[in-house]
Amino acid sequence: MNKEDIIEQIRKKKSFLCIGLDSDLSKIPSFLLTYDDPIYEFNKRIIDATQDLCVAYKPNIAFYETMGSKGWDILKKTLNYIPKNILTIADAKRADIGNTAKKYAETFFSTYNFDALTVSPYMGEDSIRPFLKYSNKWSIILGLTSNIGSKSFQNLVLKNGTQLYHEVIERSSKWGNTDNTMFVIGATKAQELKYIRKIIPDHFLLIPGIGAQGGDLDEVIKNGINRDVGLLINYSRGIIYAGNDKKFALKAREEAVKIQRKMAKYL
């Protein structure tokens, strides 16, 4: 999926919502446990209820890996069920030396045919380069994350007076371009978005951390939006676990509608 396709979906749906499919067997409604494949059934119903309100789905790979080979099968079936005009993001945070990175890229972009993959820039350009060789695929580079421990490294002040995350974003933005790279910026770092937009004014940003982690939607939008919108704002628990009975999909839709309506005001 290319940049124009994403922008078209945003304008059509008046939404830049990404829904995280962090599907956990211990949290899904108990009645689904009677199905042969409870997680897949859960994912299907969430997708059916929200596909007209979001522009991306983001399965967190850890929730599928933990189930072994069955989890990878569920992931594949879920991907096949998602409409082709909706961006699919593998939240896997991969990267490694060249040959290994090449296999990671093949796994997520060929075997599973995701549109995008989160990657870590810590090992440098050669660990990301194999992902960038795929056309119409996206590498979403960790830029500034919302977890408490991010301050241990990302906010370190370098000798030139800049913070480490500034250098990471500026340098890694040159490895690819605005048509194949995005950046993860945590919603709890909304004030930093003003500075980040000076470094990368035209890149898309994947923004997790709204809701349960304390990020403010309006603040993120005001500080991060650009001429193409340039934002994919992720909600996971606040949508998919909005209900825990047989009406869970309806509850998920109701929460997605609330968010979409807020987003529409900025479009």
CATH code, 213: 3.20.20.70
Residue 93 designated active-site: yes
Task: Tell me phi and psi for residue 170, to 5 degrees.
Answer: -65, -45
- List 93, 102, 103, 262, catalytic entry: 93
- Give CA–CA dist 186/165, Å, rounded: 12
In the prediction, which pLDDT does 210 show? 81
What's the total number of domains in the chain? 1
pLDDT digits (tens, 9 = 90+) for 95-126: 999 899 999 999 999 999 999 999 999 999 99
In the prediction, which pLDDT does 98 show? 86
Contacts of 70 (CB under 8 A, 6+ apart): none
246 CB burial (10 A radius; 0-12, 13-18, 19+) = exposed
- As given in the structure block, the two tokens for residue 219 are 């603040």
In the prediction, which pLDDT does 212 show? 63
Residues in the chain with pLDDT values less than 50: none
- Give CA–CA dist 222/244, Å, rounded: 33
| H or E stretch at 8 | helix 3-13
pTM: 0.96
> Domain limits at 73?
3-264
